[in-house]
Structure 1
Amino acid sequence: MVNNHALGSPLGTQRTKILMLGSGELGREIVIELMRLGAWVCAADSYEGAPAAQVAHESRVLDMANPDRLDALIDEIQPDIIIPEVEAIATQELQKAADRGIQVTPSSQIAAICMDRERLRVLAHESLGLPTTPYRFAGSLDELLAGAQAVGFPCVIKPIMSSSGHGQSVARSADDLEASWDEAQRGRRSADDGEISRVIVEAFAPLQSELTVLTVSSSSGTVTCEAIGQRQEDGDYRESWQPVDLDSSVLEKARALAVQIVDGLVDVAHGNGERGWGVFGVELFVLTDGSLLFNEVSPRPHDTGMVTMISQRLSEFALHARAVLGIPVTQSDTRLSIPQSSTAASRAIVVEGDGEATFTGVERALSEQGTELRLFGKPSVHGHRRMGVALSTASSIQDARNKTQTIVDALTIRVH
């Protein structure tokens, strides 16, 4: 394991070597924060020119779901720390790396659990007692029918392994189940391996809103950030804001649930001899009656947490870098930096087309005070792709959200 004496300047004399598995926009910000603390970083992804690869010391291109390719990369780099930034990774190789003494963030076991909805739900609800929607698991269309009848219609069907809403659908009657099953099989991870994916079928909750509670496990324990509100389309992030306008008792319950699931995962890591350090994005449902349900947890910085680049003294990426490197993260490190009674917001810039995207009008987009812009530098778009994020602060949630829309509207985006 890597201790503080092995960190790069100014914390030590020997650079920590870090392998980033996944080099998207979140990975880019993590790499920048790690390099600020003196670490050496190699960023890997499945395509050339990924955002994090543009700023890391070195980069590699490979299929990280291929165990042989991933094992060869780990042997080549000989990292002190491996940071998974995506889910399409051969997790068995992460376990092998951990067995060799490499620190996997937050741990190889946590990475495997969080990418498997069945394992995660069993841990959260059946082992830790967290409230969730009623659910069943199914490995065939007949089992899906039985599960849907048990939880009731309408119900939500998701593959056990997928991300960004892929393979997810709503069945409003038994007539919809075959189409939902087929959608889950198409949208699951590793859909070309010829195997059948198990699915989870969940009761349709009377949803008021969704929250993300960024929770940090570090050498000094577990702390949380202010809850983040969010809006999604087709299971993918589109907007987020912080703080949220909810009763203090609801927010305290949200914080407690987030700490409970993260501490439960960290206990699993400790049982495997691993640290369990890093940022977790805990997703919660707020129901119309004010109650809360656990949904999922991401064992890494979260899409909705991009708002922290303008809202907090230390962004989720800076917090992740500190935790990973063994630097204690306290509750004061997660505090907001915006004025009291104000709000910060983020809005994904989603581009459609086929080719390279260019942006003009940045000077217009940033003409208003309290606005920021991050363009990710992704080399191309085919269909639709998140290519940037607009950030703002204002006196209210709606004003902050409106300002991010104004930023996006001011940009001229061409795909060619």
Structure 2
Amino acid sequence: MSDRQIQNVGIIGGGQLAWMMADAAQKLNLNLIVQTPHPSDPAASIADRVILAPIDDAAATAQLAALCDVITFENEFIDLEALQAIARQDTIFRPRLQALAPLLDKYDQRSYFKSLGLPVPDFRLLDEENPDPPDRFPAVLKARRHGYDGYGTFIVKSQEEFSQLWERLNRPSLLLEEFVPFEKELAIMAARGATGEIALYPVVETQQEKEVCRRVIAPADISPEVSLQVSAIAQQLLNRLEVIGIFGIELFLTRDGKISVNEIAPRTHNSGHYTLDACDISQFEMHLRAVAGLPLATPQLTNCEGAVMVNLLGYETSHCDYAEKRAKLAEIPNARVHWYGKSESRPGRKLGHITVLLQQGELEKANAIARRVEALWYSREP
């Protein structure tokens, strides 16, 4: 089958990342078929067809494969071994399963980066056979699988805190790494096409609170040398993995200008949401172009000099669409509000995001604009 014949794209996962592919799929004349557990999941409302099943249900994925020309992923919470059995039946996965193998486990991912000679924080395995506590604090503990949005990541500040946490978690196998005293956290979205071409988005600054991304500023205020180094790391990773699709790569920048790689997400990513409004090709279109075998192009900022993206996180447990607050946010000049249509709010849950396009001379105002957004959103007033 020629890549030019790809029309039906399967997506394992039906959250907001899959939901945000809808406009791009329509533009590219692609059909989206989604495997997701619940009919209320965001992407269920936009898919051309939905298979209601857990994302690790291999039998459901086999049904998905029968309906699709190619299958891609909204998240990495997959059963790789089960998918490999399906792949042997001529199912095309993009990115390929062999490329995902060293990335799904965070300890394996760190080890893979180190094997490539990439700069990474000091790390080691923590488990029953290697139970020694950190020798420096603060230290970072990470779940090896299924951690996201702060879940499964812990910063411990003392040996006592470490011991209490590990016992409370029932002494699982974890990634233990040094805490990097970074000046900025950076990220880059990078796509690789079916013929090996690579498209890079600008390097952005991400701002986290409680290990959850709160804000993204594009482009990051960094030197050209740092930008080139990040871009080179992204190209090295994508080429060595021989991937097809878009990846989000997160990094640390220290005060002395050194870069280290934090994590890689083999999919569209929160740090690229600003591209929906600020770029001529969004990360979602770029990903679909790659997996469908369509040509890639270098993305450009359009009608702006940059953007600030703020996640709209749940701050209470409720069933509310926050229509009045969203209306106020939409009144901010050059703002675009994206609401994911989730019916339930709970603290920390990503309910939507807002992107504010920055015009000439406004890049230095990005943080002030983000604070204005958050003051409106987290206010207890309607």
TM-score scaled by length of structure 2? 0.90
Taking the aligned partners of 2:167 and 2:302, their CA distance within structure 1 comes to 46
Deviations 1:292-344 (A, max 9, x none): 001111111111111111221111111111111111213xx3222244xx320
Counterpart amino acid of residue 319 in structure 1 = M
**Cα deviation, residue 237, structure 1:** 1.3
Counterpart amino acid of residue 131 in structure 2 = L
**Residue 257 (structure 1) aligned with residue 241 (structure 2):** no
The equivalent position to 1:59 in structure 2, one of 33, 43, 50, is: 50
Q: 1:176 to 1:156 in 2, by over 3 A?
A: same
Partner of residue 331, structure 2: 367
Taking the aligned partners of 1:133 and 1:123, their CA distance within structure 2 comes to 13
Task: Give the superposed CA RMSD.
Answer: 2.4
- Gapped regions of structure 2 (runs ≥ 5): none
- Contact 2:40-2:342 at 8 Å conserved across structures: yes
Partner of residue 256, structure 2: 289
Deviations 1:81-119 (A, max 9, x none): 111102222222322232222221211123332221122
**Residue 210 (structure 1) aligned with residue 210 (structure 2):** no
Partner of residue 390, structure 1: 354
Partner of residue 137, structure 1: 125
Partner of residue 301, structure 2: 336
Q: Identify the structure with the greater helix proportion.
A: 1
Residue identity over aligned pairs, in percent, reads 22
Q: 1:364 to 1:400 in 2, by over 3 A?
A: same
Partner of residue 177, structure 1: 162
Taking the aligned partners of 2:380 and 2:87, their CA distance within structure 1 comes to 45
Mean Cα displacement is larger for which, 384-393 or 399-408? 399-408
Q: 1:57 to 1:353 in 2, by over 3 A?
A: same
Mean Cα displacement is larger for which, 33-42 or 406-415? 406-415
SS of the residue 1:179 aligns to: helix
Superposed counterparts of 1:89-104, under 5 Å: 89-104=78-93
Taking the aligned partners of 1:200 and 1:53, their CA distance within structure 2 comes to 34
SS of the residue 2:369 aligns to: helix
The equivalent position to 1:25 in structure 2, one of 9, 12, 16, is: 16
Q: 1:353 to 1:109 in 2, by over 3 A?
A: same
- Contact 1:97-1:104 at 8 Å conserved across structures: no
- Gapped regions of structure 1 (runs ≥ 5): 8-15, 186-195, 267-275
Counterpart amino acid of residue 106 in structure 1 = P
Superposed counterparts of 1:268-279, under 5 Å: 276-279=243-246
Taking the aligned partners of 1:410 and 1:175, their CA distance within structure 2 comes to 39
- Contact 2:19-2:46 at 8 Å conserved across structures: yes
TM-score scaled by length of structure 1? 0.83
Counterpart amino acid of residue 350 in structure 1 = L
SS of the residue 1:113 aligns to: coil
Counterpart amino acid of residue 78 in structure 2 = I
The equivalent position to 1:155 in structure 2, one of 122, 126, 139, is: 139
Counterpart amino acid of residue 64 in structure 2 = I
**Residue 106 (structure 1) aligned with residue 81 (structure 2):** no
**Cα deviation, residue 289, structure 1:** 0.8
SS of the residue 1:320 aligns to: helix
Partner of residue 64, structure 2: 74
**Residue 117 (structure 1) aligned with residue 106 (structure 2):** yes
**Cα deviation, residue 42, structure 1:** 1.5
